[in-house]
Structure 1
Amino acid sequence: MKKTKLIIFGLLLISLQSCCPFLVDCDNNDDDFPIDPAFSQYEPILLDRNDFENSVSLKDPISINTSGKIYSKDNLLFINEVHKGFHVYDNTDPTSPTPLKFLEAPGSTDLAIRDNMIYINQATDLIAIEYNNTDGITLTKRVINVFPEMRSPDGFLPFDIPENNVVIGWILIN
């Protein structure tokens, strides 16, 4: 009987350790996502909100430097250039894709396509565009501040961002 009480007491003590405020002085620190910018090795790249909202454009093809996700739709291939936009390729012959255009969208990280509408995660905004090889692109909708601010590669949040500016990337501080 004494052994059973000791085991129950031990289990109760172990379970109470998860009740942080009662047994331990908790600062509620979240070490996985530090928010103190003083220790980040990166500096945010900012773009004025008006310039940001007018920054989506179709340009001549460029070479791939930092590729991200790849998306295929019909005979088109979209390759993300991290935080810059999307390379558009004609993928009719998968053994030799032909570069068509570069869809510039600063701060972009991902896209999805449904019924010929392209949805792009552009920094904090969600945009919807229509793409046509001959006519180019048409921005049909922008929903602002759908996504959280972009974190630095070492996990820090941007600090002291001027009003009407958007973080579109991060650059390593030398």
Structure 2
Amino acid sequence: MKHVCILLLVSFSLLSCVTDRNSDDVDTIDLLTNYDAITLDRPTFEASVTLEDARTIVNSGKIYVLNGLLFVNEKNKGFHIFDNENPSSPIALAYIKAPGATDLAIKNNVYYINQAVDLIAATYDKQTANLQVTKRIREVFPPKISPDGFIHDIPDGEIIIDYELED
């Protein structure tokens, strides 16, 4: 009997901790993140993939090697392209600016890039230094979440391409 009384006392104590989260008298708790979302509107985002001059790698991600070329991801920014015919001394060729991009795959000379929420297909001609986006499939991937695991509410038509630590 003593155990039943203790069990009932503990049960009632725990029940007092449970509240109705839909009740008007319960304050909502705002979950705070230490990161601000960096966004682009849809038209700017879609026009942002360009071929630029080679630059220094700052924050490298995945690496891809194929047909004498070496691609190094600049996390959430784009891809560095190197001539890798001599692997002991790669030569910087160009930079594919693709805000929000983190991965690349190549098949039949088509470059498949995940650009934030979209999947794009592009062709690159090393001889003419020309990059052309040939196809875009919108919203194939989920929106990026902040490094501390939060999902940000953003206005319609905006795409999260990265996060930065708040000041």
Length-normalised TM-score, structure 1: 0.77
Q: 8 Å contact 1:83–1:106 — kept in the other structure?
A: yes
Q: Shift in Å at residue 38 of structure 1?
A: 3.3
Give the 3-state SS of the residue equivalent to 1:146 in structure 2. coil
Q: Letter of the aligned partner of 1:168 in structure 2? A: I
1:158 paired to 2:142: no
Q: 8 Å contact 1:149–1:158 — kept in the other structure?
A: no
Match of 1:42 in 2: 35
User: Matched residues in 1 for 2:40 and 2:122: separation?
Assistant: 21
Q: 8 Å contact 1:37–1:156 — kept in the other structure?
A: no
Match of 1:144 in 2: 138
Match of 1:3 in 2: none
Match of 1:99 in 2: 92
Q: Deviations over 1:96-123 (max 9, x none)?
A: 1000000000000101000100000000
Q: Letter of the aligned partner of 2:43 in structure 1? A: N
Determine which structure has the larger helix proportion and give its number.
1
Structure 1 runs (4+) deviating above 4 angstroms are none
Q: Shift in Å at residue 129 of structure 1?
A: 0.3
Q: Shift in Å at residue 135 of structure 1?
A: 4.5
Match of 1:129 in 2: 122
Identity rate of aligned residues, in percent?
49
Mark the runs of 5 or more structure 1 residues left unpaired by the alignment.
Answer: 1-24, 28-35
Length-normalised TM-score, structure 2: 0.80
Q: Shift in Å at residue 37 of structure 1?
A: 7.0
User: Matched residues in 2 for 1:72 and 1:100: separation?
Assistant: 14
Mark the runs of 5 or more structure 2 residues left unpaired by the alignment.
Answer: 1-17, 21-28
Match of 1:64 in 2: 57
